[in-house]
Amino acid sequence: MINEILWIILSYLVGSIPFSYILPHLKGVDVRKVGSGNVGGTNALRAAGPLIGFASMFLDIAKSFVMVLLARLMGFPMPFVLLSGTAAVIGHDYPIYMKFRGGKGVASTLGFMLAVNPFVALGFLVIWLILTLTTKYVSLASMVGIGFALVLSFFFGEIYFGFALIFLFVLSVYRHHENIKRLVNRRENKMDLINMLKQK
Report the pLDDT value the prediction gives residue 185, as an integer from 0 to 100: 93
Report the pLDDT value the prediction gives residue 192, as an integer from 0 to 100: 77
The total number of structural domains in the chain stands at 1
Burial of 33 (C-beta count, 10 Å sphere; 0-12/13-18/19+): exposed
- The DSSP code for 157 is T
Q: Per-block average pLDDT, block size 10, for the chain (200 residues)?
A: 92 96 88 80 83 92 97 95 98 94 94 97 97 94 97 95 97 95 90 70
Question: Which domain does 164 fall in, by range?
Answer: 2-198
Report the pLDDT value the prediction gives residue 194, as an integer from 0 to 100: 75
Report the pLDDT value the prediction gives residue 38, as an integer from 0 to 100: 80
* pTM of the entire predicted model: 0.93
Report the pLDDT value the prediction gives residue 34, as an integer from 0 to 100: 79
| C-alpha span between 106 and 112 (Å, rounded) | 10
Beta-carbon contacts of residue 83 (< 8 Å; ≥ 6 apart): 4, 8
Report the pLDDT value the prediction gives residue 105, as an integer from 0 to 100: 93
